[in-house]
Structure 1
Amino acid sequence: MRRQRRNSRETLTEQLRRAELLHKKVSLWALDEHRIGLHPTLRPLWAPIGEPLLAFIDTTYKWSYLHAFVCPETGESHYWLIPEVTLPTYGKVLDEFARNVNAGAEHHVLLVEDNARFHGGAPPEGIEIVRLPPYSPELQPVERLWQLADETIVNKCFKSLEELLQVISK
């Protein structure tokens, strides 16, 4: 019985081949979300010997989420700053992404994503969802972008969430 399950699962490569046979254009994309908030992202710094470094921390729990879609083949990416991660907002972001990449009958998009509880619902036309195994962030190519996204806000304390979002959106 276990063999039947493994054989019935289609690998990502098999899904790409099948999609290429059925559609004129096929592209592979990956999606992930990153929480960004007032609690600062701290990294080590150089300091003169004997002088302590002070880090001012706002313990207010206010945050927003950065949704990133990345095409590993071309490096093209699309980002959305969203105030919450819920099923309805996920659906709206997915619809907007489908419009931006012209997904549909002529362009088929295989979208790799994790198993977050708010990922669900029917995807828009032209998008096929491929789920990663649970607890496998090393398989998600978008995970590598979060260090770059944090680079503009690292070791900084912002007075408001709006100020933080202005910096990150640049």
Structure 2
Amino acid sequence: MPDRRTAVLEAAIQLLAEGGAKGLSHRAIDRALRIPLGSTANYFPTRQSLVEAILLQIEARDLQAYHQMDPGSGLHDVDDVVATLVSFVRVAALEGGGVHTRARLALASGGGRDLSEHRRRQVAGLAELVASVGTPDPYRVALTVSALMDGTVLHLMTGQLELDEEATRLALRTLLGH
């Protein structure tokens, strides 16, 4: 069982995924967890501190999902990198990561918060992966790869397309210059 702080964050993520940014409040989290009112505020006194913790929790879950796809062996060729990125899209949109993705989208679209630092950290991590296969200008390419992945995830989650893994692999290989 997760500790109380983690449970609060996971409940907040679930509320965001289900009701958007307007549905997120300290009281709503307390009610969802059936804990005394004011408990969430003991961990996160302001909405800003709560949102920042949610973003860090989502990043941690993303990193955990990535490590499950690449359990330390390292990705050294373009086929491994592309396969991992396609798997990440599948997980983010269609499997367990969907809740975290919807929460992230809720914060981005209605959270009234600048997510640029969160985005920079995501792209920097992706740039390291892109650089591992010798792609020139890895940060710039990572921005485009990220946009492709984000768009694909959004379309998958809204039922606008099915995951065409072969087309996604081809697009990623093209962006990576291979």
Q: TM-score scaled to structure 2, two decimals?
A: 0.27
Higher relative contact order (CA 8 A, sep 6+): 1
Q: Which has the higher strand share?
A: 1
Q: Which has the higher helix share?
A: 2
Instruction: Give the structure with higher Rg (CA).
Output: 1
